[in-house]
Amino acid sequence: MTARPNPPHRTSTTKPSGPPLQTTPTTLLSPSATLTGTHPISLGQNVIIQIRARLSSTCGPLTIAENCIISERASVGLLSSPPTPSSQGDGTPQGTSLSPGVLIESGAVVEAVSIGAYSIVEAGARIGKGAVIGERCKICAGVFVGEGVEVEDGVVVWGSGWGQYRREVRREVFEGGRERVVGEMEGVLRRGWSGK
C-alpha cells in the first residue's frame, strides 16, 4: 500500500481586499457586483448597484451621487489608463463622476470623466475615456461615444455612432419626467430587493 501525498498547503482562503468604499445606509450593493481598484469608490444615498455590475477605481476615484442606478452587467470607471494621464488641480488622478439620478442600463460601459444629472445611458452603449456627458442627455442603445467627446446638456445621441444627435425637446410636460422615471424605477428595484 502506498501512502497518499499530502494536499498542497494553502496560505490563505480570504478574499483580497477591494478599494476603499464609502456608502450610506440607503445604498443597495449587490453581493455579486465587482469592485476593483485602489482609489476610493463613493456611493451616495439611494444608489442601487445591481447584480454583476462592475465598478472600477483602478486609474482614478469613482464617485456615484445619490439616486443613481447601475444596472446588471454595466461597467463604470476607467478600465485602463488614459492615453494622456490627467489629474485634478491637487494632483489627484482624474476619475469618473456620476451626478444625481443617472441611469446606466444593462451592459453599458462608461469610462467618461463625468455624466450630468438625470442622464440615461441605454443598454450596450459605450462611453470612451475622457468624455463629458451633460445633464439630461440620452445615449441610445449600442451607441459609441468616442474618447474626449463633449456632449452638451439635453442632447440625444443615437444611430450608428457619434455624429447623429438631436437636442431634446423641452416642454413643461416633460420637465421632471426623468426624475419621475428614475424615482419609480428605484422604488420597483427596492421593493424587489427587499421583498417589501
Looking at residue 138, which CATH number applies to its domain?
2.160.10.10
Residue 49 has pLDDT above 90, yes or no: yes
Residue 25 has pLDDT above 50, yes or no: yes
- Flag whether 6 is in a domain: no
- Flag whether 30 is in a domain: yes
How would you classify the pairing of strands 126-127 and 48-49?
unpaired
Q: What pLDDT digit, counting tens, does each position of 146-159 carry?
A: 899 999 998 888 87
Q: Where is 182: in which H helix or E strand?
A: helix 177-194
Cell 494621464 locates to 85
Nearest-angstrom CA–CA distance, 128 and 112: 6
- Flag whether 126 is in a domain: yes
Task: Decide: residue 85, CB within 10 A, 0-12 exposed, 13-18 middle, 19+ buried.
Answer: exposed
Whether the CB-CB separation of 68 and 98 falls below 8 Å is answered with yes
The pLDDT value recorded for residue 22 is 93
- Flag whether 130 is in a domain: yes
- Flag whether 34 is in a domain: yes
- Asked which of 32-41, 60-69, 180-189 is least confident by mean pLDDT, the reply is 180-189
Q: Identify the domain containing residue 52 by its residue range.
A: 21-80+93-168+176-194
How many domains does the chain divide into?
A: 1
- Flag whether 11 is in a domain: no
- Flag whether 190 is in a domain: yes
- Flag whether 4 is in a domain: no
Instruction: Give the end-to-end CA distance of the chain in Å, rounded to a whole number.
Output: 61
Q: pTM of the entire structure?
A: 0.79
The pLDDT value recorded for residue 92 is 54
